[in-house]
Amino acid sequence: MHFSSALDRPKGKTYFLLWRAVFVAGLFLVLWSMYAASTSVDYIWRWNRVPQYFWYTEVKDIRASLEGEVRAVETSGATATVIIVDPSGKEERHLVPAATVRVRKGDFISPGDTLGSESHGRPGLLLEGLWITLKVSALAIVGGIVLGLFTGLARISVNPALRWSAVTYIEIIRGSPLLVQIFLWYFVVGTLVNQLLSKWGFNPIDPLWYGVVALAIFTGAYVAEIVRAGIQSVHRGQMEAARSLGLTYAQAMRRVILPQAMRRILPPLAGQFISLIKDSSLLGVISIRELTKASREVVSSSLQPFEIWIVCAVLYLVLTFALSLFVQYLERKAI
């Protein structure tokens, strides 16, 4: 979308080509500067080691738990069955990939000896962290929308109890840092709730849920103000016209006011939800292994800070950019 005054002279193709070229040149200049700076320090780039932190193959040894003799190794296709019999006649069978069998018929086996090995694909730390970030963000967004919508409607209600409750909630939540709220939910509320649950014989609640609640309640306060502003931006005559047609307040709000307000609410909502995805990185302080904490653990074990933090930033960018595109799609559908 181009913003220009009607008095401005129309821009020719040369104008746009020139400034696009300036943008591309600036982008290359930034990338070249980063490359030049990285080559000037004593650091060895090892991008080839990064994929293993997304997906790796775990090799697990298959060990005997019985002391005895290998009675037989029966191969059937890609799998072999190793049969071990101890002096008392007790038999033990192990399924082992045929290509990895390390024993033969007649071998004497002790407990713990390796019979073979099997390989399994496992998600790496970065993939697990990405999944936790996605899960926490999605749950918190849903909770924040529900909480914010009801609080926003209560904020403009004529009922003093609803309005004052909404104002109190919004001001308390907006008046303290998110990190402090996460600590309160985990160390104060979590401790009290888990002690009560253990006293009654229930399992304690996972820290992840305290993190989700903290993010949802924090986001709900801001969503409530966005909803309130969106509803109040619709001209009062719209409500009066709807009520004059015989609609109740709830029907007028649902069929007339909210659809109009939604077009104005979506852009700031997108910004709020993008902030929520980035704020989920704070949950690492309560031992939730989201993307940032997983990246920190990978850096500690691999000593590859440059590659891992760049990958972490790109993954956050992919998440937030995908959400931004989705909201833009909803905006186009709402118009």
pLDDT per residue of the chain (335 residues) written in tens, 0 to 9: 455 555 677 778 888 899 999 999 999 999 899 888 878 888 888 889 999 999 999 888 999 888 888 888 888 888 889 999 888 888 888 898 888 888 888 889 888 888 889 888 999 999 999 999 999 999 999 999 999 999 998 988 888 999 999 999 999 999 999 999 999 999 999 999 999 999 998 888 999 999 999 999 999 999 999 999 988 888 888 888 888 888 888 888 888 888 888 888 888 888 899 999 999 999 999 989 999 999 999 999 988 898 999 999 999 999 999 998 988 888 777 65
Q: Which two tokens stand for residue 100?
A: 């990895």
What's the pLDDT score for residue 123? 92
Q: What is the 3-state secondary structure (H, E, C) of the chain?
A: CCCCCCCCCCCCHHHHHHHHHHHHHHHHHHHHHHHHHHHCCCCCCCHHHCHHHCEEEEEEEEECCCCEEEEEEEEECCEEEEEEECCCCCEEEEEEEHHHCCCCCCCEECCCCEEEEEEEEEECHHHHHHHHHHHHHHHHHHHHHHHHHHHHHHHCCCCHHHHHHHHHHHHHHHCCCHHHHHHHHHHHHHHHHHHHHHHCCCCCCCHHHHHHHHHHHHHHHHHHHHHHHHHHHCCHHHHHHHHHCCCCHHHHHHHHHHHHHHHHHHHHHHHHHHHHHHHHHHHHHHCCCCHHHHHHHHHHHHCCHHHHHHHHHHHHHHHHHHHHHHHHHHHHHHC
Query: What is residue 334's predicted lDDT score, i.e. its pLDDT?
Result: 66
What is the structure's pLDDT at 2? 52
C-alpha of 52 from chain center: 20
CB atoms within 10 A of CB 270: 19
Residues 134 and 315: beta-carbon distance below 8 Å: no
Please report the pLDDT score of residue 7 as a whole number.
Answer: 67
pTM: 0.81
